[in-house]
Amino acid sequence: MRRFILITIIFLLFANVVSAQLKGITSYDNAYRNYTAGNFDVAVKYYNEYLKSYTNDDKAIFERGMCYESLRKFDEALRDYSSAIMLRPLSSPYYVSRGYVYIKTGMPQNAYDDFTRAIQYDPSGSDGYFGRVNANLDLNKYDFALADINSAINLNNKNPLFYYTRAMIYTELNDTAKFYDDIERILNNYPGDFFSNFKSQGVILILDNIEQNINFFNGLINENPEHFLLHFMRGFNYYLAKKFVPAEEDFNLALKYCSNIKTRIAVYSQKLIENCKIYSDK
């Protein structure tokens, strides 16, 4: 009888363990499915359930952090990214993700440090360099930002976002010739919506900044309403934001106020106007 009771207890304990594991696996599947579908609130609930049984799964903790970041719950995201880093301290993507949250929360030096670690642990990847570009820009270190974006381009010369970013850096350095070179490269190689295939956090950060750029150029244009380059720059930001009607209006104004229709800025404006007409009809 005692032996029977002992076997029964062992069986029940084993069954509970297996049940908990199966529940945890199911929770992770549900969590990941909702995470990839963009249902971040739902995903967090399933990740919470899963992590009760698998407390040291750094990948799940990291993915929950991504959900929190997408929900703009940055304190929770930082907590999860830091926990994932503690569990796997040599993982470059974890530092990259935490670095972007530091940028979004106004801590560019912390971000710089994290992106530097990401480069250290993955020197052949471009993500750390591109992240550090954004930190350097927030720190007003434009020469360092230029050096980092060139490193990113050397590692991945197929990403149009890098050329766009370098073009913006050239405007800060007042190097209009090289700015035009990168704009021409973008238009020649990526005539369409060149952000569509790049879903990285860098793209999200750039898209967040586009509205700020538009507001910035609004103020400058109010003071200089006939400055062709300001209209071109605002139009280009509208274009990136897929606001093709105001973009086309600005490019037409750039042409109107440009003294020489054969200049590069005029040629680019004409090409972008054609693109705007194509995309506004879609």
Q: pLDDT tens for residues 62-110?
A: 999 999 999 999 999 999 999 999 999 999 999 999 999 999 899 999 9
Lowest mean pLDDT among 210-214, 217-221, 271-275: 210-214
Q: What is the pLDDT of residue 115?
A: 98
When pLDDT is cut at 50, 70 and 90, the band that residue 200 belongs to is low
Q: What is the pLDDT of residue 118?
A: 98
Domains of the chain: 163-282 (1.25.40)
Check pLDDT > 90 for residue 280. no
Q: What is the pLDDT of residue 147?
A: 98
Q: Please state the rounded mean pLDDT for residues 102-119.
A: 96
Q: Please state the rounded mean pLDDT for residues 252-271.
A: 83
Q: Please state the rounded mean pLDDT for residues 101-120.
A: 96
Q: What is the pLDDT of residue 156?
A: 92
Top pLDDT among 260 and 108 is at 108
> Which pTM was predicted?
0.76
Q: Which two tokens stand for residue 149?
A: 């974006």
Q: What is the pLDDT of residue 193?
A: 53
Mean of the per-residue pLDDT values for the chain?
84
Q: What is the pLDDT of residue 220?
A: 87
When pLDDT is cut at 50, 70 and 90, the band that residue 188 belongs to is confident
